[in-house]
Chains A and B, each alone.
Chain A
Amino acid sequence: MISFENVTKSYRGSILALRECSVRVEKGEFVFIVGPSGSGKTTFIRLLLREETPDSGQIWLAGREVTQLAPWKVPYLRRNIGCVFQDFRLLPNKTVAENVSFALEVIGRPKHVVTTQVHQALDLVGLGKKQSRLPHELSGGEQQRVAVARAFVNRPLVLLADEPTGNLDPKTSLGIMRLLDRINRTGTTVMVATHDASMVDAMRRRVIELEHGELVRDQARGVYGYST
């Protein structure tokens, strides 16, 4: 499903964000990417979204080489990837339902498809009853649920989450993790970049650890720190 082959990426020529990184993630997997700040987690996600191109190496997603994609095809690549961020990135003047439907409308989905899928996505994240609220009327956890609904509403192959619980308290974080787990059970590949140790330890999923841009650990049912 996702495959990084000897990917190297540096910024402004000097700072090495990823060094000769090779990873394979199969369809339907749930993967944590861990490591301290600046270890290359975010670069990993940006490369997969083709927001950046690597200096060398190949990146494959669903049988397509991401780095060789023509610029006009990049939007179609991104339709296969749902994204969730630490800062939610909701549109403040749109309601919950509008925020989610926006993601479908701007890729030209017909109205009846939008209505049903938005309804389903909001039910999945448990916000069916709050669909006409504005983001500022919701708690942080609820806002992140809206973001997850928006990321998932187009049924992407992959769901990427960059520090999804960075702004949330532990209890709320657990709720978001459960939600991501539920999405994973529908067959969606989920990749979560985080340094929330308790979450990683609680979930006991595959862990990929990066340090100074190098892959230092790939463990099938890992925890955040080195387990001895």
Chain B
Amino acid sequence: MTMSMEYAAREAAGNLWRNRLMTITAILTVAVSLSLLGATMIMRQAVAGVTVNWGKGVNIIVFMHSNASGGQLQAVHQQLASMPQVSHCYYVDHQASFTEMKQMFSSQPDVYQQAGLTASEVPTSYRCSLSNPKDAQVVASTFQNQPGVRSIYDPIQQANTIKNISGIIQLVFVIIAVILLLSAAVLILNTIRLAIFARRREVAVMKLVGATNWFIRIPFMLEGLSQGIIGAIVATGVVFGMQAALGYLVHHTHSALLRSLVPPQHDVVTTVIVVFLVGMVVGALGSLIAIRRFLEV
């Protein structure tokens, strides 16, 4: 049986090489579509893990105007303290906010230096943790039009916005990926059809001398399958590249949001497995249809 395996591999490789232009086209299409699929999966995993860390346990931030009066500050403070949803609050004064901002923009000090910002111009804020983070919106709406309040930062809302936007991008990616995967299957089908046509004499002789159907089919199956797998290998490279790029981005940025986006390594493994499986399915599908339609055994 080893000899027939060797034979099948040799035949498949020979066929791939004979139609190399078509083969490369098919492989690239598989690779691009699987990369999109991989990108979608990574994005999905990354966004699912978004929990913005603005200090430990902070669920909501009430930013005050930099010139808010002491009475306004007092009012907000008291109101926060009286709300049952709010479990704990602390005040970040001008000096602390300014220091924090300088840290944030340490790589680009122009931002505040050129504007000539001073500590007194930086908004102060109340950072609060809630007993139940889901109440963030209720708390936020209370302070929306409060005098002296500049804006309310609600990390959960922000995360939701990100999830919505990425949801749309994911949908577009998946649609493109599916269309490309279909075209990849058709391209693979076509390369196999050409291979079958090129080997019609051999196939006729094989049938005549009593080669089994699977013996005749397997080289063509292998050909389609290897196109899918090679495409998947390329796409895996792209997936790891994207993962690395994301990692780089996260470590070289101060955006707390991006920082929360690093997908754990095991998720990348899942993505790679899915990419390989889909690649194999597409390759097998293309060659199976070609064999059914064009190879009479």
Contact = CB atoms under 8 A, between A and B. Distances in A.
Interface of A: 49, 71-72, 75-79, 83, 89, 91-92, 102-103, 105-108, 110-111, 150, 154
B201 interface: yes
Contact of B4 (A49, A108, A150): A108
Contacts of B210: 75-79, 107, 154
Contacts of B202: 91, 102
A114 to B, nearest CB: 9
Interface string B184-222: 000000000000000001101111111111011000000
A154 B209 contact: yes
Contacts of A150: 209
Contacts of A92: 201
A108 B215 contact: yes
A53 to B, nearest CB: 15
Per DSSP, are chain B's interface residues mostly helix, strand or loop, or mixed? Answer: helix
Interface string B1-22: 1011001000000000000000
Task: Give the top 3 A-B pairs by smallest Cβ distance, nearest first.
Answer: A78-B210, A79-B210, A106-B211
Given A75-B212, A75-B213, A111-B3, A106 B206 contact: yes
B205 A105 contact: no
Interface residues on B, range: 10 to 19
A154 B7 CA distance: 19
Interface of B: 1, 3-4, 7, 201-202, 204-213, 215-216
Nearest to A109: B3
B208 A105 contact: no
A106 B215 contact: yes
Contacts of B211: 75, 106-107
A92 B206 CA distance: 15
Given A105-B7, A108-B1, A91 B205 contact: yes
A225 to B, nearest CB: 32
A111 B212 CA distance: 18
A116 to B, nearest CB: 15
B204 A89 contact: yes
A12 B173 CA distance: 51
Contact of B201 (A91, A107, A154): A91
26 contacts: A75-B207, A75-B211, A75-B213, A77-B210, A78-B207, A78-B208, A78-B209, A78-B210, A79-B210, A83-B208, A89-B204, A91-B202, A91-B205, A92-B201, A102-B205, A105-B3, A105-B7, A106-B7, A106-B206, A106-B211, A106-B216, A107-B209, A107-B212, A107-B215, A108-B1, A154-B209
